[in-house]
Amino acid sequence: MMKRIYTLLVIAALGFVGCQDVTVGYLRTTYAKYGIDSLHIGVDGVKVKMAEMEEQYWPLEGLGEVLAMAYKAKPIIQDLESEMDELYEEMDRLEGEEFPDEDRMDEISARLDEIESLVNAYYDEEYLIDDAKFYLGEGFQGDGMGYSVAEAERICNQYLSYSSTVEQGLPWTTATIEGVLGTEPIQYSIANVTSEDGNAEIFRRELVIYGGGRMQLPFDCKAPKGKYRVSILIKNEGYSNVLENVFTFVVD
């Protein structure tokens, strides 16, 4: 009887030790990827990328020009509107004169055209962005490009990111990574940077990664021209995976 009790106690103890060795939680990165897995660094390269997106996604055509004017107008919109009112008053006064100054009227007309373009861009910006998303989706009775709401949002946000970077000198920033499943908290870090035609060491010093795998470089990135492939480490308690060459930066 005592032998049987002893045996049961040993089995129970072994079971307890076995349970202690089980890692709680999980981490799956099989389908992890960036929706857009490359980013051009450099103003000229980004403008080329914007042009390529406009060619691929027709609802984006002309949006970049409006965004640039809207950004220029934002800090001075009140001054622009005041100047526009004053110019209209001056134009009305000149038109009422017997011998109006034609040269001055031409100057006013040219300036009014310039101001109105900026003011209209300022007020139309949000509407035009929403309009682009709408036609990236179904549009009216199926005359859009047919992308899902999420895809239309992603495409438009990438284009807006390019525009903001160029106009405001913002850091070069990727989207977050998709398809990572696991027990929180999940941590992201740079595992490796490789380059055949650039300087991976300089690039690695400037590259940072945030939550969700969002990566960022300063606007005035010091790394020389070249293509840089980045591998990232994803880990949580008890698990870790390295995604090799998951993102490519191209410094133009």
SS3 for 90-126 is: HHHHHHCCCCCCHHHHHHHHHHHHHHHHHHHHHHHHH
129 contacts: CB under 8 Å, gap ≥ 6: 63, 156, 160
Predicted confidence (pLDDT) per residue in 212-225, tens digit: 999 999 988 999 99
Give how far Cα 214 sits from Cα of 37, 55, 154, 198, 229, Å. 11, 27, 14, 22, 15
Predicted confidence (pLDDT) per residue in 78-104, tens digit: 888 899 999 999 999 999 888 888 999
Beta bridge pairs of residue 129: none
Domain 24-41+170-252: which topology? Immunoglobulin-like (2.60.40)
pTM: 0.57
